Amino acid sequence: MSLDRRKFLKFAMVTSSSLAAGSLSRASTGNESETALEHVGCLVDTTLCIGCRQCEKACNDRNQLPRPTESFTTKTVFRNERRHTEASFTVVNEFPGPPSPDQLQKKNTYVKFQCMHCLDPACVSGCITGALTKSRDGAVVYNPTVCIGCRYCLYACPFQVPDYEYDDPLTPRVRKCEYCTDLARGTGANPACAAACPTEAIVFGKREELLEMAHARIRQRPERYLDHIYGEHEIGGTGWLYLTGRPVTEVGMLKLPETSGPRLTENIQHTIFRYGAIPFGFYGALGALMWFNHRKERLNKEAGTEAAHHEDEGGSHGPSRD
Ligand code: SF4
Ligand code: SF4
Ligand code: SF4
């Protein structure tokens, strides 16, 4: 087998594997039909949050997470900006400055963070085994029995949400807010954090209704709210939505594009794979043509060299006319 043919077969194998991987990735995402149901969500009004951390405690209780070393009533935790962990699915952070221009009596702004339950979740798209899935009501949930611990979801999430139980050597899991899965979904019951919030800074409901509510608040109190609902469009839209009275980047949120990562990569992937037969056939034919041309050139060159060699031989050994 010539080197060129080996290379050609290798190319074909790699291409076939990529095609298979593309199909697998699309199959594991499986979101398009599942997002058809009305998406539930939570609206967080940061101008109402007082930093009491009752939501953190309720989440901890609801999910039977380990008790933190510092109690839920201490405010010293606000000294450093915290992130959620495998032992705390939600955290409230404090940012200096009033939450809105009409609340100058307040010294700080408090913002709760957790999984955003994206409409088009990159963690689900990145998970090669389907351990993370998007439920029909929009909750992004985790199945530890099929997780292989690759942690692609950790790298895929634009909000850096999923945490991993690195300290558990035997059965480590990916951990994050799952919307208090069975409590919230189908029953209309509030997630634990929303139920515990004394100021109604967290409202649970259908995403469309929450958006209407948020737009109404902005219309009614333009002096309080910025005309921007964080999560309405960011990264394709999220289940958790935020109303703020100051730029979101000042209160720990990331400025993100409107297109979700999965949508972007799927568009590219679909273009290649759905209509791939045409370019694949074209490049295959082109490759074959190049191989034959190269072979023909080589044979011609060899034939030319041989003829010249014979001529040289005839010239040096033949009789001289002189
Ligand atoms: S915030 Fe991250 S972990 Fe949560 S659904 Fe979106 S991509 Fe997944
Ligand atoms: S929805 Fe449930 S799991 Fe998520 S942050 Fe609130 S209490 Fe925790
Ligand atoms: S319970 Fe409500 S007011 Fe208290 S910190 Fe959480 S979101 Fe803020």
Tell which atom from ligand 3 comes closest to the C-alpha of 53. 5
H-assigned helices in 79-220? 122-126, 152-156, 181-184, 192-196, 207-220
Q: Is any ligand 3 atom within 6 A of the Cβ of residue 230?
A: no
Tell which atom from ligand 1 comes closest to the C-alpha of 177. 4
CA torsion through residues 5, 9, 10, 15, sign: positive
Residue closest by Cα to atom 3 of ligand 2: 177
Which secondary-structure segment (H or E) carries 140?
strand 140-142
Give the Å distances, CA to CA, from 220 to 213, 227, 229, 232.
11, 11, 15, 19
Output the pLDDT for position 16.
Answer: 36
Output the pLDDT for position 227.
Answer: 98
Q: Which of 197, 204, 243 to mutate to test the pocket of ligand 3 (most atoms within 8 A of CB)?
A: 197
Residue 270: how many CB atoms within 10 A of its CB?
13
C-beta of residue 235 within 8 angstroms of C-beta of residue 256: yes
Residues with CB under 6 A from ligand 1: 115-118, 121-123, 140, 157, 159, 161-162, 176
Nearest to 292 by CA among 15, 11, 13, 5: 5
Find the 110 Cα to ligand 3 centroid distance in Å: 8
Q: Give the pair of three-digit tokens for residue 127.
A: 């998970």
CA 279 from centroid of its chain's CA atoms: 29
Output the pLDDT for position 17.
Answer: 34
Residue closest by Cα to atom 1 of ligand 2: 179
Contacts of 132 (CB under 8 A, 6+ apart): 121, 123, 124, 140, 141, 142, 143, 153, 162, 174
Q: Is any ligand 3 atom within 6 A of the Cβ of residue 58?
A: no
Taking the alpha carbons at both ends of the chain, their separation in whole angstroms is: 51
For 188: left if phi > 0, alpha if psi spans -120 to 50, otherwise beta; the answer is left
Dihedral through CA 193, CA 196, CA 199, CA 200, nearest 10? 60
Output the pLDDT for position 183.
Answer: 65
pLDDT tens string 91-118: 999 999 999 999 999 999 999 999 999 9
C-beta of residue 43 within 8 angstroms of C-beta of residue 213: yes
Find the 92 Cα to ligand 2 centroid distance in Å: 12
pLDDT tens string 176-199: 999 986 766 666 688 999 999 999
Q: Is any ligand 2 atom within 6 A of the Cβ of residue 44?
A: no
Domain ranges of the chain: 34-261
Tell which atom from ligand 3 comes closest to the C-alpha of 200. 2
**Topology given in CATH for the domain delimited by 34-261:** Alpha-Beta Plaits (3.30.70)
Identify the bridge partners of residue 67 per DSSP, sorted by sequence position. none
Q: Give the pair of three-digit tokens for residue 215.
A: 């737009």
Residue closest by Cα to atom 1 of ligand 3: 197
Output the pLDDT for position 157.
Answer: 97
Nearest to 208 by CA among 180, 230, 241: 241
The ligand with the least distance to the CA atom of 159 is: 1
Which regions of 167-273 does DSSP assign to beta strands (E)? 174-175, 202-206, 229-230, 240-243
Low-confidence stretches of the chain (pLDDT beneath 70)? 1-37, 181, 183-188, 261-322
C-beta of residue 112 within 8 angstroms of C-beta of residue 92: yes
Find the 94 Cα to ligand 2 centroid distance in Å: 19
Q: Is any ligand 2 atom within 6 A of the Cβ of residue 63?
A: yes
Q: Give the pair of three-digit tokens for residue 284.
A: 């295959």
Which regions of 29-83 does DSSP assign to beta strands (E)? 40-45
Residue closest by Cα to atom 8 of ligand 2: 59
